A and B are shown apart, each in its own frame.
Chain A
Amino acid sequence: MKLSELTRPWSAFSYGFLDESAKREIRRRILKAIAVPGYQVPYASREVPIARGWGTGGLQVTLTLLKPDAVVKVIDQGADDSVNASSIRKFVSRVGGTVETGDTTQATLIQSRHRIPEEKLREDQILVLQVPNPEPLRPVQPDMSVAREMHADADYGQLWLILYEQLVRSGRIMQGASYPSMVNGRHVMTPSPIPRWDVPKLNRADHLTILSAGREKRIYAVPPYTSVEPLVFDDVPYRVEDHQDKACWRSGVRGFFMNELPQEDGSSLYELSDSHFGIKHIRKAAGEAVSIGETWYRNGRMAR
């Protein structure tokens, strides 16, 4: 018997880059996060070969969930070709040997920064959202240890107070992205800086969403079929961005979240923020056989 027969062949790094002890820890944290929806589970958050703040939390979860038959989509601000999304996708396929895709309906694992795709996700898909700041209480309590106690007490009054102050000062709720939302009627979470347009997609969804903040070392989750309710007042309904009437100048598609492109003449053009969704529409219009999945929004309204 030789030593080489007993050991695995040497390789520069493990499958999926992270070593097994790091992966085991993250799997355990993910399970806890799923068991207590919306609760922020601390984790070690190892360094990875991209800079903190550039998707290291999402990346660690993606690397942990990776398997050779995974089909991975990575998006940043809705776009697959954004430089950082390209960089992450390249790294994931380099260390995981996975299939890359831009098509939401084909992906088994979607890592995203600041958007949820427009096509509905299924039970067999996992969405991993990159989170810069996991703490919805940060604006009222920068001290994390105190904020943790407030979560334990479900002491969220100050979050409503912020919204109320906005109403008094501006006549409107001014919260843009990262709209604080109650998960499973117990923990308030920040859904990451996704637009308000995307928050209702998390409510009672078919898919699992894992949110991971690498720098802040917290994982939390929205399991399938779990309620996610944006904080609102009974008499002031939740409002998504006014994009229902905007049309994409490239594809002509209407009724989805758009990027605004300022023009020299002072006007604006709009294009679909979900870039691959736009590509599919253009291809379909050009006569290619493209199947477009069911969407969360229909005619610019959330379909329920």
Chain B
Amino acid sequence: MAYVATRGGERAIEQAERLYRADIGAIGRERVEAVRDGLPYLVDRLMGEASLYEPDLAALALAQSGGDLYEALLLLRAYRTTQPRLAVAEPVRQADLFTVRRISAAFKDIPGGQILGPTLDYSHRLLQVGVLNGEEYRPAPVEPAAEPAPATQPSLAEWQKAQDLIPDHPAESVEPDEIPDITREPLLFPVSRAHKLQSLARADTGGTLALGYATMRGYGAVHPTVNELRLAEAPVRMRHPCGTVFSAGRVRVSQTEVVSKSGGSLQLGFSATFGWNEVKTIAAATLDLASGQPDPHPASNEEFILYHTEAVESSGFCVHFKLPHYVTFQSHLDALRRVKADRQQAAAIAAEEESRHETNEAVP
């Protein structure tokens, strides 16, 4: 009874997975470290989208998925969601950030200065093909400045608020446990400010760029200027049960403020994420700004942006179309055939009537 031997599916899926893993090969600590140390910007991007700051785990996920970013992301998110939330860190203000790069396109110079920091912005994008021929590519050493830049920088927006250029929105005080957490609550609309910024922080970099770019190009009314962009290390400070605040380490963060003229003042769009990922925060800050406008263009509508840049959901749904859908298809086929049969029947009746009509005319 061939029909009864139906467990073939289980063997097939197991072997298919082995085939995939065989191509990637054995994974050891060494490979994970090579990914972590050699591809820090990829690790950063992934940690941001995963809402999980752990370079070792992110590198492991990349190694385990062979670099398939959406697979790696799902691995991290599925791991993260099982972890308990032990404590809530103290809020970080701009002036607390150990800033390594900070630029503003809005002014030639700003209080605290423009700090280029690490960037490829002005590099010539030439492949070092010599490496493939055995020459080692050794970047030229950095020459330290005569005077080191200060570790922390004031906030430009604070200066603008003091000048009455940007309306001030005083921070709401919320108990730590009451802070909305998108990883434990559904996204509902109209969305809260916290959920919006959290969703953008973990949004797909590519998706955020696509929608952000659409808005910048003209599907939206805002014309963003980068007010301040920062790459920094943020101190993670915890409050001990006995009341003292202590540092639990640092995380790499990027953040962007964009401004646009609106009525008599400037309006700010903001985005921040784990890891150093400039293109994402610029795009996300633009989307934040555009979606906050009254009656935004459909491409920068809050619900549209936040649902469609959720990488685990969008990638999962996209690939789910590979699953069999033959029951649904059968159901549609049935309706189509019925209509076809109706039409054939109607045509047959019409033909019959016509021939009867002709016969009647032929016999006067």
Query: Would you call B4 and A279 a contact (CB within 8 A)?
Result: yes
Tell me if A223 is interfacial: C-beta within 8 Å of chain B: no
A77 to B324, CA, bound (A): 7
Q: Does A170 contact B (CB under 8 A)?
A: yes
Residues of B within 8 A of A79 (CB): 6
Asked if B62 lies at the interface with its beta carbon under 8 angstroms from chain A, I say: no
Do residues B185 and A86 form an inter-chain contact, with CB atoms below 8 A? no
Chain B, Cβ-Cβ closest to A80: B6
**Most A Cβ at <10 Å: residue of B77, B186, B316, B327:** B327
Give Cα distance in the complex from A86 to B10, angstroms: 6
Interface set, chain B 338-358, CB cutoff 8 A to A: 338-339, 342-343
Task: Decide: A145 and B190 in contact? CB cutoff 8 A.
Answer: yes
Residues A51 and B3 in contact in the complex (CB < 8 Å), given A172-B335, A196-B331: no
User: For B313, what are the chain A residues with a Cβ–Cβ distance below 8 Å?
Assistant: 52-53, 215
* Residue among A17, A44, A275 with max Cβ neighbours from chain B (10 Å): A44
Min CB distance B188 to A, Å, is 6
Are A53 and B319 in touch, CB under 8 angstroms? yes
List residues of A (250-276) whose CB comes within 8 Å of B's CBs. Answer: 250, 257-260, 273, 275
Q: Which B residues lie within 8 Å of A45 (CB)? A: 186
A19 close to chain B: CB less than 8 A = yes
Given contacts A51-B316, A52-B317, contact A84 B327 (CB under 8 A): no
Return chain B residues, CB-CB under 8 Å to A217. Answer: 186-187
Q: Assess whether B333 is in contact with A83, with CB atoms less than 8 Å apart.
A: no
- B188 contacts A42, C-beta separation under 8 Å: yes
Contacts of B336 in A (CB 8 A): 174
User: Given A49-B78, A282-B3: A83 and B330 within 8 A (CB)?
Assistant: no
Within 8 A of A (CB), among B188-225: 188-190
Contact: B7 with A81, CB < 8 Å?
Answer: yes
Nearest CB in chain A: distance from B203 CB, A:
15
Residues of A within 8 A of B84 (CB): 19, 21
Instruction: Check B316 against A56 for contact (C-beta < 8 Å).
Output: yes
B13 near A87: Cβ-Cβ < 8 Å: yes
Contact with A along B68-112 (1 / 0, CB 8 A): 000000110110111010000000000000000000000000000
Residues in A with CB closer than 8 Å to B299 are none
Q: A13's contact among B82, B186, B338, B339, by CB below 8 Å, is which? A: B82
Residues of B within 8 Å of A, CB-based: how many? 55
Whether B9 and A278, one on each chain, are in contact in the complex, defined by CB atoms closer than 8 angstroms, is no
Interface residue? B323 (CB, 8 A)? yes
A176 touches B324 (CB 8 A): no
Complex Cα spacing A16 to B65, Å: 24
- CB neighbours (8 Å) of A177 from chain B are 327-328, 331-332
Task: Determine whether the beta carbon of B186 is less than 8 Å from that of A42.
Answer: yes
Of all chain B residues, the one with the shortest Cβ separation from A25 is B184
- Give A13-55 as 1s and 0s: 1 = Cβ < 8 Å from B's Cβ atoms: 1100111011001000000000000000011111111011110
Which residues of chain A (87-130) have a CB below 8 Å from chain B? Answer: 87, 90, 113-115
Question: A90 to B7, alpha carbons, bound, how many Å?
Answer: 12
A215 touches B317 (CB 8 A): yes
Whether B165 sits at the interface, judged by CB under 8 Å, is no
Taking a contact as CB atoms under 8 Å apart, the answer to whether B335 and A176 are in contact is yes
Q: How large is the interface on A (under 10, 10 to 19, 20 to 34, 35 or more residues)?
A: 35 or more
Identify the closest chain A residue to B1 (Cβ): A282
Q: Answer whether residue A175 sits at the interface, using C-beta atoms and an 8 A cutoff.
A: yes
Q: Please indicate the chain B residues that have their CB under 8 angstroms from the CB of A47 in the complex.
A: 74, 77-78, 80-81, 312
Say whether A81 contacts B6, CB under 8 Å. yes
Closest to A29 in B: B186
Q: Is B122 an interface residue (CB 8 A)?
A: no
With A13-B82, A81-B9, A145-B189 known to touch, is A51 a contact of B74 (CB < 8 Å)? yes
Tell yes or no: A143 within 8 A of B by CB.
yes
Which residues from chain A contact B184 at a C-beta distance below 8 Å? 21, 25, 44
Task: Indicate whether B26 reaches chain A with its CB closer than 8 angstroms.
Answer: no
In contact, B78 and A48 (Cβ under 8 angstroms) = yes
User: Any chain A CB within 8 A of the CB of B137?
Assistant: no
Taking CB atoms, residues of chain A closer than 8 Å to B316 are 51-54, 56, 215
Which residue of A82, A115, A241, A259 contacts B9 across the interface (Cβ within 8 Å)?
A82
Please name 11 pairs of A and B residues whose Cβ atoms are closer than 8 Å in the assembled complex, sorted by A: A17-B82, A42-B188, A44-B186, A45-B186, A52-B316, A86-B13, A143-B303, A172-B338, A176-B333, A194-B327, A259-B327
Lowest 10 CB-CB distances: which A-B pairs, in order?
A52-B316, A53-B320, A176-B332, A176-B331, A81-B6, A51-B316, A145-B189, A42-B186, A53-B317, A47-B77
Given contacts A52-B313, A171-B343, A279-B6, could you give 16 more A-B pairs where the C-beta distance is less than 8 Å? Answer: A47-B74, A51-B312, A51-B315, A52-B315, A76-B324, A77-B326, A83-B12, A87-B13, A144-B303, A170-B339, A172-B339, A175-B335, A197-B331, A242-B334, A260-B330, A273-B327
- Give B contacts to A, CB under 8 Å: 1, 3-4, 6-10, 12-13, 74-75, 77-78, 80-82, 84, 183-190, 301, 303, 307, 312-313, 315-320, 323-328, 330-339, 342-343
